[in-house]
């Protein structure tokens, strides 16, 4: 068994926090473990918990559609969540649940080692960037995430509620993802515009300039 499969098996048997008592399935993730692009959401919802896969239903259909618009399929990317089990009634994750569960995401990132990470929605973006700045201010730009590039965008569920305007903005974010992927390893050589970052984001977030 490879390291990634062993990690998935470990997560499937996890009982480290109370969420194991109410889950139907552990939702470890789905897609290619060799992907250059990883999407990270908050936590499984009702349908994800039932099926054991992230981003199914209408939100998943929108994500699949937007991927197709930039020439990708779900099998080309990897999709995961910060939490692997659904919080009851889709409530916000508790601090103890986050602390207990996020080692799985950290180890997924180590195994996959993607070029680009896309955070979907407020919770995932704030967690990954260690910031209190909201998604509306952060989206549309690229940020340093270790040796990788992180591009925040809306959660598909928020876009489904928010109408055409939010969908157009999410499309722009996906085009930025495509541009960044096409640049490949050159992502490590990008310039950082600290002045603009300080104006538009929290001081602890590094915004990357254009290629």
Using 50, 70 and 90 to split pLDDT, how confident is the model at 188? very low
The model carries a pTM of 0.89
pLDDT score of 198: 39
* pLDDT at residue 22 is higher than 90: yes
210, 142 contact by CB (below 8 A):
no
Q: What is the distance between the alpha carbons of residues 184 and 194, in angstroms, rounded to a whole number? A: 23
Domain coordinates of the chain in residue numbers?
3-7+18-208
Q: pLDDT (tens digit, 9 = 90+) per residue, 90-113?
A: 999 999 999 999 999 999 999 999
Using 50, 70 and 90 to split pLDDT, how confident is the model at 1? low
pLDDT score of 62: 97
Q: What is the distance between the alpha carbons of residues 105 and 101, in angstroms, rounded to a whole number? A: 8
Q: pLDDT (tens digit, 9 = 90+) per residue, 110-150?
A: 999 999 999 999 999 999 999 999 999 999 999 999 999 99
Please say whether the structural domain 3-7+18-208 has been given the CATH code 3.40.470.10: yes
Residues in the chain: 211
């Amino acid at each position: 068994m490879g390291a990634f499969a062993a990690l998935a098996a470990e997560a499937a048997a996890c009982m480290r926090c109370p969420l194991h008592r109410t889950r139907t399935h552990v939702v470890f993730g789905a897609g290619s473990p060799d992907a250059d692009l990883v999407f990270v959401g908050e936590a499984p919802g009702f349908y994800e918990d039932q099926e054991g896969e992230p981003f199914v239903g209408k939100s998943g259909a929108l994500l699949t559609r937007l991927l197709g618009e930039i020439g990708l399929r779900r099998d080309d990317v990897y999709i995961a969540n910060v939490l692997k089990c659904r919080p009851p009634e889709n409530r916000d994750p508790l601090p103890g649940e986050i602390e207990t569960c996020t080692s799985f995401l950290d180890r997924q990132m180590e195994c996959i080692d993607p070029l680009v990470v896309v955070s979907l929605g407020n919770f995932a973006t704030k967690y990954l960037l260690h910031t209190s700045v909201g998604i509306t201010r952060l989206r549309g730009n690229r940020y340093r995430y270790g040796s990788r590039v992180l591009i925040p965008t809306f959660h598909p569920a928020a876009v489904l509620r928010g109408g055409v305007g939010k969908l157009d903005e999410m499309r722009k974010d996906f085009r930025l993802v495509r541009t960044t992927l096409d640049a490949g390893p050159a992502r490590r050589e990008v310039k950082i515009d600290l002045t603009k970052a300080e104006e538009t984001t929290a001081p602890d977030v590094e915004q990357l300039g254009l290629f």
